[in-house]
Structure 1
Amino acid sequence: MEHEDLIDLEQRGWQALMATPAAARKFYEDVFDERIVVLLADLPPIRTRAEALDALCGPAWEEFRLYGLRCVRLGEGTGVVRYSIAATRSALPYSAQVSSVYARRPGGWKLTFHQRTRR
């Protein structure tokens, strides 16, 4: 069950990123852990919730497709979702390998690490 939950959470995140910056911010304010690290190809490492929200919740994506979604359990209450993405934002194509690490907390699954490597 936890594999499906994490894959669903990752897909809902991209749907929020396609909606509006406000919808994305609302979604990720609930999903981000108190301590988070985000690694994006064109930015220095992001280590605070506020910086992560600003970096991820910018202009909306126009479309996306996730390929090869896999969830691997790292330990009790921890899992990683890995996949490839093909997307478009501001009419520009984007493709990357993505990894997101989630930890189970009292309030549900929380995103603790997110990394995108452009292809």
Structure 2
Amino acid sequence: MALIDDLLELERGFWASAGTTSYYETHMSDNGLCVFSFGHLDKEGTKAGVESAGPWTHFDFNDIQVHVLDDHAATISYRADADRDGKPYRAMVTSVYSRATGKWQLVVHQQTELAET
């Protein structure tokens, strides 16, 4: 599987698992960080937020870009178009992954919500 496919599978897994924390426990680095407009969260804070947020009813990724930093680090950036409870959500998203342990793990995830047009 190509790197872009690996990273897209991981990203989709995070979005699909909203409302539960097991995917985050497995695929997010213990020292991972998520950055949102309201602040930043460590792994435990992210899991608590995910659990209380509920699942997405729809999500799609567009304008996908992958940048390889080295054999053990890569970024994926995209525009997310999603819906939760009938409310649309659009954001520019960047995630940084590390393969230091032999498998890709999320190290940093950042979302910038886009203004409605």
TM superposition score category, shorter chain reference: 0.7 to 0.9
Question: Does residue 80 of structure 1 match 2:72?
Answer: no
Q: What is the aligned partner in structure 1 of residue 9 from structure 2?
A: 8
Question: Does residue 38 of structure 1 match 2:34?
Answer: yes
TM (normalized to structure 2)? Answer: 0.86
Q: Runs of 4+ in structure 1 displaced over 4 angstroms?
A: none
Q: For residues 59-98 of structure 1, what are the structure 2 equivalents within 5 Å?
A: 59-98=54-93
Asked if 2 retains the 8 angstrom alpha-carbon contact of 1:80 and 1:101, the reply is yes
Q: What is the aligned partner in structure 1 of residue 44 from structure 2?
A: 50
TM (normalized to structure 1)? Answer: 0.85
Asked if 2 retains the 8 angstrom alpha-carbon contact of 1:66 and 1:83, the reply is yes
Structure (1 or 2) with the greater helix fraction: 1
User: Which consecutive unaligned segments of at least 5 residues does structure 2 have?
Assistant: none
Change (3 A) 1:107 1:29: farther
State, as a whole percentage, how many aligned pairs show the same letter: 24
User: Which consecutive unaligned segments of at least 5 residues does structure 1 have?
Assistant: none
Kindly state the Cα deviation for residue 31 of structure 1 after the two structures are TM-superposed: 0.6
What secondary structure is seen at the aligned counterpart in 1 of 2:5? helix
Count the aligned residue pairs.
112
Q: What is the aligned partner in structure 1 of residue 111 from structure 2?
A: 116
The two structures, once aligned, show a CA RMSD in angstroms of 1.4
Letter in 2 for 1:12: G
Asked if 1 retains the 8 angstrom alpha-carbon contact of 2:16 and 2:55, the reply is no
